[in-house]
Amino acid sequence: MQCIINRRAEFSASHRYWLPELSELSNYEQFGACARTPGHGHNYELFVSMLGEIDQYGMVLNLSDVKHVIKREVTSQLDFSFLNDAWPEFKDTLPTTENIARLIWHRLAPYLPLSNIKLYEHPRLWAEYKGAGMQAYLTVGTHFSAAHRLALPSLSFEENSEIYGKCARPNGHGHNYHMEVTIKGEVNARTGMLVDLVKLNKVIDEVVIEPLDHTFLNKDIAYFEAVVPTAENIAVYIARLLKPHVQALGATLERIKLIESPNNSCEIDCAWLNDEVIELAQNQMALVS
């Protein structure tokens, strides 16, 4: 029987986004504050996932051996380093989170049966790499606050209460929603980026956060006049809004995760969304330059 096991590690390092072939102005236009000298630092958190058969001792791998491999090949070299100088590959491709994850895979692959590398730059930004050439995944976390009521207009209060419980109460209730947007794309061989992160954050803020934040979804968002704003339906709505914008940035919207509370969350696999620019997104395309 096959099983995935995971090993966590961490390292602290600094880096700078700067391309010598660009002017100072062009570097600051492309990388913003990340171009500042002498750079900036992060406490990175690394998760190494490995796939294998469970052996006669009940293990896929001896995790003590795994720990030593990760330390020898990765963390001892990167911890308390200036990443731009730590590995020669960073001279060609900048040490972005997605590119660091890609290179960690290649450092560990000769020794471990890898299935995924997940690298957190901070709790609201992380990258994943699965060994597919230059293809990687980048996740951005954000939040908004909104109220809603779960009720079908065609049903009585008693009928809605039977389906939705307390969530059907007439005056609604609110949540601090945490949202995770995952995109898929190719790591640029020079910048190390899937997309311009500043532009991606701008899209998310202008297309999703600003319109939804501090609203009563049923009354303030026309879509939810006819659609019950469950966490699932909100996530679908957000995916439909974001997909064409992410495509315009040169990436693919992979997944939306919406956390309604510490106990409830949902995830939408965006592969099923068709490639047409739907009307909901067209109405907001003008918001993003």
Tell me whether residue 40 is one of the annotated catalytic residues.
no
CA distance 100 to 127: 9
Query: Rounded mean pLDDT of 262-267?
Result: 96
Catalytic choice (98, 245, 260, 270): 260
pLDDT of residue 288 exceeding 50: no
Look at residue 28 in the predicted model and tell me its pLDDT: 94
CA distances from residue 3 to 63, 69, 130, 177 in whole angstroms, order as listed: 14, 20, 16, 33
Q: Show Cβ contacts of residue 19 under 8 Å, excluding neighbours closer than 6 positions.
A: 27, 30, 94, 190, 191
The answer to whether the CB of 283 falls within 8 A of the CB of 250 is no
Tens-place pLDDT, residues 156-209: 999 999 999 999 999 999 999 999 999 999 999 999 999 999 999 999 999 999
Confidence at residue 272, expressed as pLDDT on a 0 to 100 scale? 79
3-class secondary structure per residue, 135-168 = EEEEEEEEEEEEEECCCCCCCCHHHHHHHHHHHH
- Say yes or no: domain 1-132 is CATH 3.30.479.10: yes
Check if 214 is active-site: yes
Mean pLDDT, range 235-257, rounded to an integer: 97
Find the catalytic residue in 24, 214, 225, 276: 214
243 vs 90: CA distance, rounded Å = 31
Dihedral pair phi/psi, residue 174, rounded to 5°: -125, 165
- At 215-237, the pLDDT tens digits run 999 999 999 998 999 999 999 99
Query: What pLDDT does residue 287 have?
Result: 35
Q: Which part of the chain is CATH 3.30.479.10?
A: 1-132, 134-289
The mean per-residue pLDDT over the stretch 93-98 comes to 98
* pLDDT value at residue 275: 47
CATH superfamily of 134-289: 6-pyruvoyl tetrahydropterin synthase/QueD (3.30.479.10)
pLDDT of residue 109: 98
**Which stretches does DSSP call E strand in the chain?**
2-15, 40-53, 81-82, 114-122, 125-129, 135-148, 173-186, 215-216, 252-261, 264-269
Local confidence band at 277 (pLDDT 50, 70, 90 cut-offs): very low
Average pLDDT over residues 75-92: 98
Identified catalytic residue from 89, 167, 186, 266: 167
Taking only the tens place, the pLDDT of each residue in 20-46 is 999 999 999 999 999 999 999 999 999
Q: What angle do CA 131, 135, 141 make, to 5 degrees?
A: 105
Instruction: Using a pLDDT cut of 90, give the percent of the chain over it.
Output: 92
Predicted pLDDT at 281: 40
Task: Indicate the pLDDT class of residue 274, thresholds 50, 70 and 90.
Answer: low
The reported pLDDT for the residue numbered 285 is 36
